[in-house]
Amino acid sequence: MKVLTVVGNRPQFIKAAALSLALRAAGIEEISLHTGQHYDRALSAVFYEELTLLEPTYSLDLRSADAALMRPEILFALARERPDWVLVFGDTNSTLAGALAGVEAGIPVAHVEAGLRSGDLAMPEERNRIEVDRISTLLLCPDERSRETLATESAPGEAAVVGDVMADATRLFAPLARDRISIDREPGGYLVATVHREANVAQPRLGRIVEGLNRLDEPIAFPVHPRTRAALADAELELGPHIEMLEPLGYLELAGLASQARLIVTDSGGLQKEAYWYGVPCVTLRPSTEWVDTVATGANVLVDDDPDRLVRAVREARLPDRLPELYGDGHASERVAEALLGRIGGRD
């Protein structure tokens, strides 16, 4: 069996690293295609080096997040390779482009992280999730809630609960991450902040988020996405002296930093989950989240861009006494491989 995986951003590189190990162990040939959606070296190439990822057979280097530009290039790769499956991760424009290309080429699509919903249709990621789930043959869900969502929506594909591939990556790579902390701080003696979503780096939201961060009185490690750095400069926003701006970090460096923080402030879907698995409280700079169970447990608090709510949530953050297991046992990748080999909905 041959599978073509489509990746384009940081979380997808990490998931692909964990999944590639399981695919190889199952005897599945993997062809990797990197769309170039994140073309900054610290946000793409470094992950291949850190996580011993399969070097991409196809690297589009489009330096664009436009799915319309990606799709014809992906179609070219599919015509050459004729895989049994196109496998896509998550909710990015790379995900959408890969799924649309698979359908156009007549190749079944497997969607990892199927069925997630934040309820916020203003987010392009939410619209991507819905569209990709609607056209995928195999819907690989992280939890039962996601499978139930697909059933409610009458999604035509075959749904299977496999767990979260990101949990596999955390299990596999956490020991390597502990030695990669990039600031001189005691464990629990700092916060980590990340801001990268398009809505959050535009005004007035970015200014309100910076106001909240500036009002905090703890050291903050702030790895800055290139888009965020440019937006801060354009808006002439200044960060307080307690905020240390860092260059974009590789996965292992960020994992080491986040796992030892007192608290994480983020708008990243992946970091919300990772914070939960690390046992670190999380404050999320969004009005909604697809990872609703992290909020239900009390480990994650949604504050949107409200500086008052941000300050209050950071100061009052406490983890519950017991954190239930969420999103699987760290062996989702093996179940993905089993589902693909089972040819659920696939070609003969």
Catalytic residue, candidates 34, 38, 111, 196: 196
Reduced to 3 states, what is the DSSP secondary structure of residue 174? helix
Residue written as token pair 């480990």: 299
Structure tokens at 332: 């989702």
Pairing mode, if any, of strands 2-7 and 85-89? parallel
Ramachandran category for residue 163: left, alpha or beta (phi over 0 → left; psi -120 to 50 → alpha)? left
Ramachandran category for residue 327: left, alpha or beta (phi over 0 → left; psi -120 to 50 → alpha)? left
Active-site residue flag, 196? yes
Distance of CA 330 to the CA centre of its chain: 16
Which residues are CB-neighbours of 103 under 8 A, at least 6 positions away? 109, 135
Contact 20, 4 (CB under 8 A): no
Reduced to 3 states, what is the DSSP secondary structure of residue 73? helix
Other beta carbons within 10 angstroms of residue 285's beta carbon come to 26
Residue written as token pair 């460096």: 253
Q: Can you tell me the distance from the alpha carbon of 290 to that of 46, in angstroms, rounded to the nearest whole number?
A: 27
Reduced to 3 states, what is the DSSP secondary structure of residue 330? coil
Buried b (16+ CB within 10 A) or exposed e, 26-54: eebebbbbbbbbbbeebbbbbbbebbebb
Cα–Cα–Cα angle for 120, 126, 127, nearest 5°?
A: 110
Residue written as token pair 């619209």: 127
Q: Can you tell me the distance from the alpha carbon of 291 to that of 281, in angstroms, rounded to the nearest whole number?
A: 14
Give the catalytic positions in this structure.
196
